Structure 1
Amino acid sequence: MQKLQAQGVHHITLTGADRQTSIDFWEGVLGMPFIFDQPNLDNPDEGHLYFDPGDGRLITIFTNENRKAVHDRTPTDPGCVHHIAFNVSRATWMQVEDRLNARGITHSGPKDRGFMDSIYFKDPLGLLIELATYKFEPPLGCSHADVMIEAHRTRVARGDHHIAEVHLADAIERLVERRQMTLSDDRGPKNPY
C-alpha cells in the first residue's frame, strides 16, 4: 500500500451566494484578484468564480443569483469547515483592525498565538475568516513548517504549554547551524565585550 502524497493545496471551493457579493468580498475586501469566470461544469444553474489568494493557488466560489446568505455563522458540525486562514504581511497586519473597523466589520480583535498574530471576522455568508501573520521569517532554504516543527520539539522538551517567541528563536538558530557551514571551530555563543 502506498500514500497519495499531497504537495500543497490546489484550491478550495466554497458555496457562495450571488456573483456580486462574492466579487465584492473576495476581491473588494480581501484584495484577491478575480482571475477566472466560467459556469459550474457540474451544475448549469451556478457560476464558478476563481480568485488568487496571493500565492498563485485558487479560492473558487460557486454562485447562484437566487441564493442569499442563510447563516449568521456557517455550521461547525464535525466534518464542516471551521474557518479559513489567510496570510498577510506584517505591514498589512498593522492596519487590519483599523481597516475592518472602517468598514464596520465586527471582528475578534488581535489574538497572540505565540508563533503568529491573528484576527477573526465573518464573510457575508457567515464563514469565519482568519487573517494571520507569522512572527518570524524562516532561514534561507527553510520553510515556516521547518521552523514550526523544530520549535514544537523544543517546546515539548522544555515542558512548555505552547509555542512562544523563545522557541521560534531557538529553532531558527538550530536550523541555521545545521544548514549553514562555518569556518569557525567553535560556533558557540561568545562575549566580545
Structure 2
Amino acid sequence: MAADTMRKIQTQGVHHITLMGADRQTSIDFWEGVLGMPFIFDQPNLDDPSQGHLYFDPGDGRLITIFTNEERKPDASRTSSETGAVHHIAFNVSQASFWQVAKRLDARGIRHSGPKDRGFMDSIYFQDPLGLTIELASYRFEPPEGCRHADVMIEAHRIRVERGDYNIDREHLADAIELLVSRSQQSLSTDRNPKDPYGRG
C-alpha cells in the first residue's frame, strides 16, 4: 500500500476497558466496595444475553466494565502474563490516599507488594479476586497549568537521556516543570535565568 494512502486513526484517550468477571456481586464488592468506583450502569451484554454488563467509574469519567455470569465463580489464580495478555491495570490515586493503601489492604487481609519507588511515581500492586494484578499509582508531581502529566514526562525523559541517567527521578521532573513554565507562561522580565537576591554569590 502506498504511504500517501495511509492515514492514522487518531485516538483521544481510553474510552473504556472491559474485563471478564465472575458473578455480579464479586464485581460490585471489589470495584466499588474495595476501590470506591461508583457502580453507574447495568445492562445485559448486548452480544451475549447470558452475561451481565456492569459499568464502574474509576474517577475520571472513563469506564471500567465487567462481563458477569452467575455460573462463573471467582478464581484467584494469576491471570495470563503471556505475550499479548494484559499484565496489569493501573489506577491513579492521590498521595494522601496512596499512603493509606497498604494499611487498608492489610485490614482486609489482601496481600500486596508494599510501596514501590518508581522515581516519578509511587506504586503498590495486589490482585483482584480473579487474579488480575491491580496497580495503584500516585504521581509525585503536578503539571504546570495548561500542561498534562504526559508533557512533564516527555520533557523529563529528554533531560534524563541528555544527562545519561538510568531512570526518571524527582530532579528531572522539577527541571522539566521549570522548562515547561518558561515556555508556556509569559513574563515581563527579559532575563528569566536563576538569580541570587540575597547577594551571596
TM-score, scaled relative to structure 1: 0.99
- 5+ residue gaps, structure 2: 1-5
| Conserved? CA contact 2:26–2:74, under 8 Å | no
Select 2:99's aligned residue among 94, 103, 124: 94
Instruction: Kindly tell me the number of residue pairs found equivalent between the two proteins.
Output: 193
Select 1:17's aligned residue among 22, 27, 36: 22
Three-state SS of the structure 2 residue aligned to 1:153 is helix
Select 2:152's aligned residue among 147, 154, 157: 147
Select 1:125's aligned residue among 130, 146, 150: 130
Identity of aligned residues (%): 76
Q: In 2, distance between residues paired with 1:103 and 1:181?
A: 50
Calculate the aligned-residue CA RMSD, in Å: 0.6
Greater Cα offset, 79-88 or 182-191: 182-191
Q: Mapping of 1:8-157 within 5 angstroms?
A: 8-157=13-162
Opposite residue 66 of structure 2, the aligned amino acid is: I
Three-state SS of the structure 1 residue aligned to 2:158 is helix
| 1:176 counterpart residue number | 181
| Conserved? CA contact 2:76–2:128, under 8 Å | no
Opposite residue 168 of structure 1, the aligned amino acid is: L
- 5+ residue gaps, structure 1: none
Superposition deviation, residue 71 in structure 1:
4.4
Task: Find the structure with the greater CA-based Rg.
Answer: 2
| Moved beyond 2 Å, runs of 4+ | none
Superposition deviation, residue 102 in structure 1:
0.7
Superposition deviation, residue 69 in structure 1:
2.4
TM-score, scaled relative to structure 2: 0.95
Three-state SS of the structure 1 residue aligned to 2:19 is strand
Q: In 1, distance between residues paired with 2:139 and 2:75?
A: 33
Superposition deviation, residue 111 in structure 1:
0.2
Opposite residue 21 of structure 2, the aligned amino acid is: G
